[in-house]
Structure 1
Amino acid sequence: MFLKFFKSLILLVLMVNFSYSQELVPPIQNYAPSEYSAASQNWGIALDEKGIVYVANSQGLLVFDGISWELFPLESESIIRSVYPYKDRIYTGSYQEFGYWENSADGRMEYTSLTPLMQDLSMQSDEFWEIKAHEDAIYFRSFGAVYKYKKDKISRIGDVVASSIGVYQGRLILAPRNNGIAYVDGEGEMKPLEGDLKILDGENIVALEEVGSKLFIASRESLYVYENAKVERVENKPLNEVIERAEINHIISVSQNEIILGTIKEGIIQYDFRNQDIHMYGRSSGLQNNTILGMAYFDQKLWLSLDKGVDMIDLHSPIKFYTDNTGELGAVYDFHKYGNNHYLASNTGVYNFSNGKLQLVENAEDHTWNLEEIGGQLYANHNSGFYGINNSQFEPIDTRTGSFTVNKINDSGDELLIGNYTGLSLYNTKSGEVKELDSVNFPVKGFILENRNTIWAAHAYEGIYKITHREFETIEVRKIEPLGDKENFNPSIYKLNNQVTAFVGGKWYKYNPFEDKFQAFRELQTFNGSNLIFKGEDFYSFVDTDEGHLIITDLKGERISLSSEDLNYRLVKSNENFIRYNDSIFYVTLNDGFARVNLNKLREKQEGQWVSNPIIKEFTDETKRHSIATTPVIPFNDSGNILVKVGLPVSRAKKLIYSLEGEESLNGVVNSGTLNFRNLSHGDYHLVLTAVGNSANEVTSESFAFSIAPPWYLSPLMKFVYVLMFLSVVLLVYWLNQQKLRKHQLQLEAKFEKEHSDRLNRIEKERLINEIDLKRKELANTTMMAAKKNEVLMEIQGELNKDKSKFSNQFRIKHIMNKINSAVKNKDEWKVFETNFNEVHEDFFKDVLEKYPKLTSKDLKLCSYLKMNLSSKEIAPLMGISVRGVEVHRYRLRKKMDLDTDVNLTKFLIKNF
């Protein structure tokens, strides 16, 4: 009884010695059943060389591409107990069934059963729990037999019933039930492993793992190591005592001197057999379950298939976490090592952290903003005042109002300036006196001393102030004008390289004392959007205020990033803190604990990290899934909604971006694993996926080409039709143009002919007019000559009539008189006149006779003379009558024509005929 008690006491002491290590755990990623949408139990896990995770789940094969999970059940819906990727196949084992999965051309996982190849071999309720590859053969182990698959043939390895199989020094080894270890020789015969293995007699071996020259052998409650033909139980008492209660289920090697034991009851045990260190991670450390059913190690990350869920542990991460699962601690604002104690300032108080345990400092409850060691004394800026901490005692210094920050004024540290909720206070450490600065009546969250007489203060919420004083007697308090487009909300003030510097609205500014104003800080423009949270002698730390990741830099080129994912998205927003512990160890405050960062290891780890290649998993249009092995051509009617499922196998990649190039260009970040392209134009496209690591040169990419066929109205046939139509239109237009030109030419010709005819007519008309004018003149001349002649003849006749009696020869006189009468009334002359008159006045006589048919020839003769506008005096000789006779004739003619007396007969004839 005493021996049992002593044994338990020793175990308790040993557990306490490494309890701190248990509390600081590497990053753990949990994948709950609700996330991967399958059964809780996961019997095995493995990764292929690309980084794709395969899980043997109770509902089928579970695949994780780094972004999304997908379940592939067997037709029989059997539980898959084992999984093993080898080359391009994923081998699985289940009840009375084993086979392999392959990706089809369209990206689907398709299963091929190997049991039809067994021929005469039979199974008796076999479930296949383990699969191994050796020399291009695949071995399937059940509790009843071990089967070998090679070159499309299945054979059985002897009659052995093995509890585990493995590979050691190039040979396949088995653990026959309760009968040590055997190997399979080149002839396929079973032979005992060399050496004395009596220690294993009666042990039910559950796991075998080769590590260098060593072979680790595990039963449920014991761990052995085989080397140089000798097998010994591992001599590590704390480890063995843990194993006895934890029950080993699996072993996996993670380095040349380190193995992981997966247990049934206690999670995993990390065992460094070189220095005999052990670390345990279970439910209390962040695992979802303590029952480890399978393990896989890839890219320094340990993957666990659990009785409930899947977990990933970044075992060798330079970041370790402390998490307060009780909720007592709350959000941590500061961490400080003071003497042999570690103090945490949180929103619930100040805690002493020792040996992984938290102890609230007495009377230190409530929100604590800051811990500062000055002159060997630790101070706390608390919600209820300003305190000193001594031997875990919380000693009040000024409790009139809460405080934010404190800094020393001189090198000796005997005078401190405190930024508090109502302004600034001066604390003399020797006298204990606290004095408030006059005229500073706003909450001061941060401040710097530019010189002995100038203080720059940042308001807790808005505004930056310049405070001028003489021996802390305030002279002037001046609020600085807004540095950006808005008021100076949530400002921060610093002193960098002896320059007053401000971070406001996501931008950096520096004070120009010559112009008494702030200007853009060009040297820090690359850090716009990132506030300073640590300033050291050789490097600085910034936090991206939007993305929440940390940037560690020397401002000379080195740049180390810690993403919000690296810190499990647990930073305290707007109150991030990065605390130096020593040259390599730093602490980051979190909303439920803190993280310890080994900066040297982080720097080493981020140099040349492996980034996996993105993968195209599925390409689907509106109606069907296309092959991803070729370049798919999508009918235009099915291209309205194109889905591309992509993956980023697990690696150190930070993000996946895409770029679509072609008729349209698109780009962005892949978040859900599915890209959705809507209403793309027809044409050829090139999709490029790029995985990005911590640095710009850590990138890998994958490309995929596809085409969208043109719509029916742009198909080759229709294009041919369009060409014919175009040619037809061209020919039609050409013909119409020709017709138009011909018509125009005819019109021009007609116009020309018309113009020519008009010109000829005009010429002819002018000729006729000229001719008529000439004839009119000739007619007038001949008429006047005839009138003159007749006038002369009539004068002669009158003279002769006067002296008629004087002539002796009356006959002769009479003959002469007759001759004169004949000459005056010469009909031939009238005919000539009539002919000439008709040439000038065509149809005159005809028109007059048609209107006045009763007119006589003498009337017509008078009308013709009147038409020529001759006077009665001129007409009388032509008609051989007196002027009086002409007037009488005119009178009679007017009567015949029935004209009024007021109508001018001459004008009437000229106008109307």
Structure 2
Amino acid sequence: MNYLRLLLLLFIFYTNCPYVLGQELPPIEDFIPESTEVESQNWSISQGDNKYLYAGNNKGLLEFNGKKWTLYPTPNKTVIRSVKVVNQKIYTGFYMNFGFWKRDEFGNLNYTSISDKIKEQLVEDEQFWHIIHQDDRILFQSLNRIYIYNTLTDVIDIIDTKHGILGIFKVDNSVYFQNTKKGLFKIENGEPVLVNDLSYIDNDIIVHLSLVDDDLLLITRNNGFYRLSGANFSKIFERLEKSLEKNSIFSALRLADGSFVLGTISEGILIVSPNGAILYSLNQYKGLSNNTVLTVFEDHDNNIWLGLDNGINCINITSPVRIYPDYRGKIGTVYTSAVYNEYLYIGSNQGVFFKPLASDQDFEFIQDTNGQVWDLFIYDNTLFCGHDSGTFIINKENSTLISDALGGWNFKTIPGNPNLLLQGTYNGLVVFEKNGDQWSLRNKIEGFDISCRYMEFYQDYLWVNHEYRGVYKLSLNQELSKIQTIKKDTSIVKGDNSNIVTYDKELLYTNQQQTYFYNTNNNTFDKTVQDSRFKQIKEDLTGKIIKDNRGNLWVFAKDYLGQITESQFSEALKINKIPIPKSLRKEMLGFENINHIQEETFLIGTTKGYINLEVSEFKFKERDIILDKVQVKSKDADFKAIALSEEELTLPSKVNTISFGFTIPEYDKYIIPEFQYTLEGFYKDWSKWTTDSNIIFENLPPGDYTFKVRAKTGDVINSNELSYAFTIDRPWYASTIIIIAYMAVLIVLFLLINRAYKEYYAQQKSRIVEENKKKLELKQLENEKAIMELNNEKLRQDIESKNRELASYTMSIIKKNEILNSIKKELQKSEKQQKGLKGVERVIDQNLNNKDDWKHFEEALNNLDKDFLKRLKAKHPDLTPNDLRFCSFLRLNLSSKEIAPLLNISVRSVEIKRYRLRKKLNLDHSDNLVNYILEV
């Protein structure tokens, strides 16, 4: 009974709540132009065939091409109240004027006034609030009149009212308007015809009019929905009255799917189903830029655009992404999720929350779970909660603590033990056991006490990854009570945000920079894939890889979310890239999580709530690339726009910098187009993918070029490419005429050079003759020189002969003196015996008198070197004749032993003479006496 009462209270609360809580909402893109020239209020929105968006702003007309906003001020600097795009013209209405804008050949919009031709007929202070297109007519509605402009004849007809006009509406092929006092009119044949006096709605203001089963459906500002069938009024969607009683509807629109968007004055918007049920509400509290909605518009891709009192918002109503924006901070950062017994459970930094699955009810908090939740794990029809303070079992809205082991990171089933669960905690590993129907903590595993946030069973081992310490390979005993062996892996390079996961029969270690694959052959982690199933997608494994609750792998890359799936045609894996960048996912770094919720819906935890992702709905359409702007410039000059219609663009050589602006008008928040370009004639390859839609090529050389750009949305590359060909002329000095002139000059130069060469060679010939004459003369001189050389050689031979003669003479003197001295010595021995021998000694002494020998020796020496003694005497004037004689012997390079007999002295005396001579010549101890004499 208490449970039924609770359900009843929840139903009453839900059906009477002015806006529904706990909803997953579509993405909202905030398009508040940052230009200081733009005002905040936006009154009307329309879209062209090229998907460009146009908005009436307080400062003029805003154009948005998907990448940038451009403001076109009105001629009289007033507020644009109404905008309507028809074919290639953008019709606008503003203060005391209406007309159209049209794009010129340079891509800029220029204004043409229609009302100027009847400006005398305009009402004082008239403004134009709505524009309707009907056949070949454009209707401009002010508060007093309707101006009907014939686009074929330029004729303007006027429908005037005495009481004023509150609004104008197009319903199928008919045009209606509301008179302030008389009711609802229909324009037939250019004249107003009363349809209903609207007395039933007390002349409430109609904000929207549409057709339902041949009846008119009216949405009023203050009284909700009505149905007009003929003359009969009836109230419909009465259950909305309570939700609308405090909301004044300022703008409304029926969408292509039949649902309604109600823009209010102060509560944002309500999305109402075709049956009148509130699907959800959006306001500033839930992501809108402002709560006052001045206009509502549905674009070609069914996005809802809101012109607000402060900015412009785009709601991706058909997006496969739904967001639970926790703006109130009720649930906090989501770390884990699970679906259990038709309830969605969320684990966050604030506890465990739950609500019925596929319900718009708000989340409820599960008592006693406040604090950090790390993991929600379903096993054996039991929901386990790994918590900062322990481990709980969750049963609907109740929680039961089964372990106080701090920090329950995760759970793993144990192969072959269905009644056991392994849990990694802050301080190691614990085991849970099921006894009967109850789970309880069995034991802590001894021998490993570090944090076990990531772990996997692989090849009978438990692998544990610690982000800061590395990967451990653990062997557990059979009782799961202690660790038998611990081996730390050294083959990997630790990285930020690491994880270890198994898939099929493979073990992977991954971090932000690299993925390693376990090689069972050498029992190490390796960067190479070898025969892995991941081989074809290895380059895409850049980011943290985690497992969801169904065992599938996801890559949390910087630019996308990757779902790794099985290929239908081979064993190789493939990756489905969902182009939601990290900047939009906003998950907690290091605690990325994703889990399957239902069918193809996955839940991604974020720092403020979560995202629901309908993977199967992520289908990308090919979008045409639009060339928005071409500009060129020369050095130190400003860019100048080029006509987009120009088929063959030729630029002067100095104008060699060109800029291309291009775009894809894509307004889905989670689909960001990327571009790749090349410039044929300058680049050989395509550029890297980039979101930049403006490219500048500077200082291009002369030549023919073709600029090409292609795009991709998500992982789909568009088949169509945008091409633009242009030519940069050669400079004047390289033009065809100048080249011909160059050739003529070259021919003349050739002739002149040829003539000069002939003259040159004639001169050369005469010069060669002269040179030959000189050569003959030189030859004669060389012959004479050779003769002189021969004569000199003869003289040298004579000198050498005299040298030999001198040497021979010297040696003979030495020999003679040696013999005579020997004889003298023998005679001296016999003097005492034979006195008559003294006469012989005298004769010998006379022959030993070397004065004559010296005289002959000096003459021979002078013949050989006449100037030696003179040079020596001049250099050393204090030398005695004996010194000069001794120097002569030294010049002949005679040894002391050879000089002694020549001077009739002992060898010792020769050495003494050498010593004395060195002193007279002032020679150092290190100087060689003979070398010095030879060099004089």
- TM-score interval, smaller chain: 0.7 to 0.9
Describe the shift of the 1:735–1:257 C-alpha distance in structure 2 as closer, same or farther (beyond 3 A).
same
Looking at structure 2, the residues matched to 51 and 276 of structure 1 have their Cα atoms a distance apart, in angstroms, of: 31
Partner of residue 702, structure 1: 722
Looking at structure 2, the residues matched to 267 and 131 of structure 1 have their Cα atoms a distance apart, in angstroms, of: 24
Kept in 1, the 8 Å contact 2:681–2:706? The answer is: no
2:391 to 366, 386, 393: 386
Deviates more, 1:114-123 or 1:553-562: 553-562
Describe the shift of the 1:559–1:170 C-alpha distance in structure 2 as closer, same or farther (beyond 3 A).
farther
1:371 to 372, 376, 398: 376
Amino acid at match of 1:142: S
Asked whether 1:450 is paired with 2:458, we answer yes
2:533 to 510, 523, 528: 523
Partner of residue 532, structure 1: 545
Deviates more, 1:292-301 or 1:547-556: 547-556
Describe the shift of the 1:758–1:582 C-alpha distance in structure 2 as closer, same or farther (beyond 3 A).
closer
Looking at structure 1, the residues matched to 257 and 192 of structure 2 have their Cα atoms a distance apart, in angstroms, of: 29
Kept in 2, the 8 Å contact 1:692–1:699? The answer is: no
Looking at structure 2, the residues matched to 65 and 212 of structure 1 have their Cα atoms a distance apart, in angstroms, of: 37
Asked whether 1:479 is paired with 2:488, we answer yes
Please give the per-residue CA displacement for 1:82-138, whole angstroms capped at 9, x wherever unaligned.
Answer: 111111111111111111112222222211111222266332321100011111221
Partner of residue 24, structure 1: 24
Asked whether 1:619 is paired with 2:639, we answer no
Partner of residue 168, structure 1: 171
Describe the shift of the 1:242–1:328 C-alpha distance in structure 2 as closer, same or farther (beyond 3 A).
closer
TM superposition shift of 1:588: 1.2
Describe the shift of the 1:541–1:237 C-alpha distance in structure 2 as closer, same or farther (beyond 3 A).
farther
Describe the shift of the 1:735–1:351 C-alpha distance in structure 2 as closer, same or farther (beyond 3 A).
farther
Partner of residue 124, structure 1: 124
TM superposition shift of 1:490: 4.0
TM superposition shift of 1:545: 2.8
Amino acid at match of 1:480: D
Partner of residue 875, structure 2: none
Amino acid at match of 1:682: P
Partner of residue 682, structure 1: 702
Describe the shift of the 1:524–1:410 C-alpha distance in structure 2 as closer, same or farther (beyond 3 A).
closer
Larger radius of gyration: 1
Looking at structure 1, the residues matched to 181 and 378 of structure 2 have their Cα atoms a distance apart, in angstroms, of: 63
Q: Where do residues 686-835 of structure 1 align in structure 2 (5 Å cutoff)?
A: 686-716=706-736, 718-743=738-763
Describe the shift of the 1:11–1:380 C-alpha distance in structure 2 as closer, same or farther (beyond 3 A).
closer
Describe the shift of the 1:462–1:677 C-alpha distance in structure 2 as closer, same or farther (beyond 3 A).
farther
Describe the shift of the 1:544–1:614 C-alpha distance in structure 2 as closer, same or farther (beyond 3 A).
farther
Describe the shift of the 1:47–1:610 C-alpha distance in structure 2 as closer, same or farther (beyond 3 A).
farther
TM superposition shift of 1:157: 3.7
Looking at structure 2, the residues matched to 586 and 625 of structure 1 have their Cα atoms a distance apart, in angstroms, of: 50
Say which SS state the counterpart of residue 241 (structure 2) adopts: helix
Looking at structure 1, the residues matched to 105 and 381 of structure 2 have their Cα atoms a distance apart, in angstroms, of: 70
TM superposition shift of 1:579: 0.9
Describe the shift of the 1:368–1:256 C-alpha distance in structure 2 as closer, same or farther (beyond 3 A).
closer
Kept in 1, the 8 Å contact 2:22–2:362? The answer is: no
RMSD of Structure 2 on Structure 1 (CA): 3.6
TM superposition shift of 1:635: 4.1
Amino acid at match of 1:554: E
Deviates more, 1:243-252 or 1:558-567: 558-567
Paired residue total: 743
Amino acid at match of 2:487: R
Say which SS state the counterpart of residue 38 (structure 2) adopts: coil
Please give the per-residue CA displacement for 1:135-173, whole angstroms capped at 9, x wherever unaligned.
Answer: 122111000101011235242343234322232232333
Kept in 1, the 8 Å contact 2:56–2:62? The answer is: yes
Kept in 1, the 8 Å contact 2:100–2:113? The answer is: yes
Describe the shift of the 1:478–1:171 C-alpha distance in structure 2 as closer, same or farther (beyond 3 A).
same
TM superposition shift of 1:45: 1.0
Deviates more, 1:699-708 or 1:586-595: 699-708
Identity of aligned pairs, percent? 21
Asked whether 1:578 is paired with 2:585, we answer no
Say which SS state the counterpart of residue 612 (structure 2) adopts: strand
Describe the shift of the 1:745–1:381 C-alpha distance in structure 2 as closer, same or farther (beyond 3 A).
farther
Looking at structure 2, the residues matched to 105 and 206 of structure 1 have their Cα atoms a distance apart, in angstroms, of: 39
Looking at structure 2, the residues matched to 226 and 400 of structure 1 have their Cα atoms a distance apart, in angstroms, of: 65
Describe the shift of the 1:201–1:56 C-alpha distance in structure 2 as closer, same or farther (beyond 3 A).
same
Asked whether 1:51 is paired with 2:51, we answer yes
TM superposition shift of 1:39: 0.7
Please give the per-residue CA displacement for 1:658-690, whole angstroms capped at 9, x wherever unaligned.
Answer: 424144227345545433333333333322232
TM superposition shift of 1:17: 7.0
Say which SS state the counterpart of residue 206 (structure 1) adopts: strand
Deviates more, 1:67-76 or 1:402-411: 402-411
Say which SS state the counterpart of residue 462 (structure 2) adopts: strand
Amino acid at match of 1:376: N
1:415 to 409, 420, 427: 420
Looking at structure 2, the residues matched to 229 and 674 of structure 1 have their Cα atoms a distance apart, in angstroms, of: 56
Amino acid at match of 1:172: V
Partner of residue 236, structure 1: 237
Amino acid at match of 1:38: V
Describe the shift of the 1:729–1:372 C-alpha distance in structure 2 as closer, same or farther (beyond 3 A).
farther
TM superposition shift of 1:638: 4.6
Contiguous gaps of at least 5 residues in structure 2: 1-8, 780-936
Say which SS state the counterpart of residue 554 (structure 2) adopts: strand
Describe the shift of the 1:712–1:22 C-alpha distance in structure 2 as closer, same or farther (beyond 3 A).
farther
Give the alignment's TM-score, normalised by structure 1: 0.74
Contiguous gaps of at least 5 residues in structure 1: 1-8, 760-913
Say which SS state the counterpart of residue 158 (structure 1) adopts: strand
Looking at structure 2, the residues matched to 236 and 189 of structure 1 have their Cα atoms a distance apart, in angstroms, of: 33
Asked whether 1:438 is paired with 2:446, we answer yes
2:500 to 487, 490, 493: 493
TM superposition shift of 1:412: 6.0
Partner of residue 862, structure 2: none
Deviates more, 1:554-563 or 1:159-168: 554-563
TM superposition shift of 1:293: 0.9
Amino acid at match of 2:457: L
Deviates more, 1:378-387 or 1:56-65: 378-387
Amino acid at match of 2:409: F
Please give the per-residue CA displacement for 1:571-607, whole angstroms capped at 9, x wherever unaligned.
Answer: 233322221122233211111101122344x15xx1x
TM superposition shift of 1:71: 1.2
Describe the shift of the 1:437–1:321 C-alpha distance in structure 2 as closer, same or farther (beyond 3 A).
same
Q: Where do residues 499-518 of structure 1 align in structure 2 (5 Å cutoff)?
A: 499-504=506-511, 506-518=513-525
Deviates more, 1:355-364 or 1:129-138: 355-364
Say which SS state the counterpart of residue 483 (structure 2) adopts: strand
Describe the shift of the 1:487–1:501 C-alpha distance in structure 2 as closer, same or farther (beyond 3 A).
closer
Describe the shift of the 1:66–1:275 C-alpha distance in structure 2 as closer, same or farther (beyond 3 A).
same
Please give the per-residue CA displacement for 1:355-406, whole angstroms capped at 9, x wherever unaligned.
Answer: 6434444443333221112223322223334343345455444434423211
Kept in 2, the 8 Å contact 1:93–1:99? The answer is: yes
Partner of residue 786, structure 2: none
Partner of residue 338, structure 2: 336
Partner of residue 782, structure 1: none
Asked whether 1:656 is paired with 2:641, we answer no
Amino acid at match of 2:393: G
Please give the per-residue CA displacement for 1:800-819, whole angstroms capped at 9, x wherever unaligned.
Answer: xxxxxxxxxxxxxxxxxxxx
Describe the shift of the 1:655–1:204 C-alpha distance in structure 2 as closer, same or farther (beyond 3 A).
closer
Looking at structure 1, the residues matched to 158 and 361 of structure 2 have their Cα atoms a distance apart, in angstroms, of: 51
Amino acid at match of 1:444: C
Looking at structure 1, the residues matched to 140 and 613 of structure 2 have their Cα atoms a distance apart, in angstroms, of: 43
Partner of residue 99, structure 1: 99
